[in-house]
Amino acid sequence: MIRGTDGSGKTYQQRLTESACDIVYCNHGINDNQTGKDILQYRKDLITFVKVSRQYNATPILVTPNPQLTIGLGTTPNSKRFINFVNVMREVAANMAVDLVDNYKYMSQSLNVFTPITIFPDGVHMSATAYRQYGYNLAIPLVSAHRLAMKGDNAGLNGSTFYTNSTNSSIEEHGARCGETFIWTKESNATGINFPVIFEHGQERFGINELYWGSSAKHNYFINNVTAYISEPRKTYGSIGDIDWDGMTCIPKKVFAGLNVVGVLIDTATSIGTGATFSGVSLIGGSFNSMTDQSGGYLADDYVLNMDAVALQYPFSSGSEVALLDTSGNANSKAISLKLTGTTLRLSYWANNAEVAGVDMSSSVTAGTYYTTIKLSGTDVIAVVGQLMARLSLGVDASKLKVDTKGQPFHVIRR
């Protein structure tokens, strides 16, 4: 490319003279490695690329190539040698104060979620899905976005480049974990927010920090312009009058490490609510074990979110109950109940301390210890007790609940 011997017939200087480009990305490295190029010459060429770009008022950005496997078109010698080219590019970027998009790192750090063959089908080149993420990562030097690496990390509006098409919105402080809250109302056209965040590792799920309230509209969630989830964080359970500005919606979507643009859009056509909110993105943990004390005191360090399942061995006797409680404010009122009365086992859904709907799982249950699960599956709750199963529609996604088992240990399964 520098010398014009790559088949184009023009040197890099000639191309810049003829082009009105402001930014030039350099992603060279794979062919340099596979053709046995001298790594010192590779370093010199990168330095020349940076100097010439700046000479012609173009901003250079270095992009590390994707990892090389030892299968398919890849070979063991090339795979072992390749990291040296990657490290040289990183060194040149650091020494010459050049923006670096470390796609080698982001693709490597996505292998905790995606299999190698999914990302690199032939061992050398990436899949269409991975290339698409690769392209999004190229925007990292152009946006301001928080980086999230560990459970509990939060990305808020402050310091982030975000976009909205809403004409009726505001930013207010209401004590959400991510900081201030973006609030917008439903309009005739679909409106929402696009919010960039950089995941340092691939994620199987993440959280949207938003308000759970009685007038929430239905939300469509997107990751890099691809639908990821649909939810309605509307309070119709527990203590309806207590809203939760620090609510958390789990987005059960596998995503690559790197730049992910999280979109939240009001579903204008089907929403019965009036608006939506967005405070930011959080990394939520995986499955966890805990218990409650005899009075129902909650001893876990996390809550039950939408798509979670609570699993336990529970000693049922007449009057015993496993409940999921609303955590809004200090209400701790019952939201979902699984209770044995006499020999009748009932799954029910509660609001303002009154049952809204329920279903009898069986009228002939013998007291005893049964393997029990309660799963929040979208807008439904599914309960399994021994060989019994029942499904109950809540109409909305329930989230950020806590378990009351009266002293029994439980396990929250989060996939």
Compute the C-alpha angle 272/274/279, nearest 5°.
120
pLDDT < 50 regions, the chain: none
**What pLDDT, on the 0 to 100 scale, is given for residue 299?**
86
Q: Which residues lie closer than 8 Å to 115 by C-beta, 6 or more apart?
A: none
Q: What is the pTM of this model?
A: 0.92
| Per-residue model confidence as pLDDT tens digits over 289-315 | 999 888 888 888 899 999 999 999 999
Q: For residue 384, what are the CA distances in angstroms to 147, 252, 255?
A: 39, 22, 31
3 state DSSP class of 133: helix
Cα–Cα distance for residue pair 348/356, rounded to 1 Å: 7
Are the C-beta atoms of residues 210 and 249 closer than 8 Å to each other? yes
Beta strands 169-176 and 179-185 are antiparallel
Task: Give CA–CA dist 385/406, Å, rounded.
Answer: 17
What is the model's pLDDT at position 336?
97
What is the per-residue pLDDT across 351-365, written as a single tens digit (0 to 9) for each?
999 999 999 999 999
For residue 4, the model assigns a pLDDT of 58
Closest CA to 103 of 52, 139, 50, 74: 139
CA distance 338 to 321: 6
Tell me the H-state helices in 21-110. Answer: 30-34, 39-55, 76-95, 103-108
DSSP 295-325: T--B--SS-B-TT-EEEEEEEE-TT-EEEEE
List domains and CATH numbers for the chain.
12-139 (3.40.50.1110), 148-283 (2.60.120.260), 292-413 (2.60.120.200)
If you search the block for the tokens 């490597």, which residue do you land on? Answer: 108
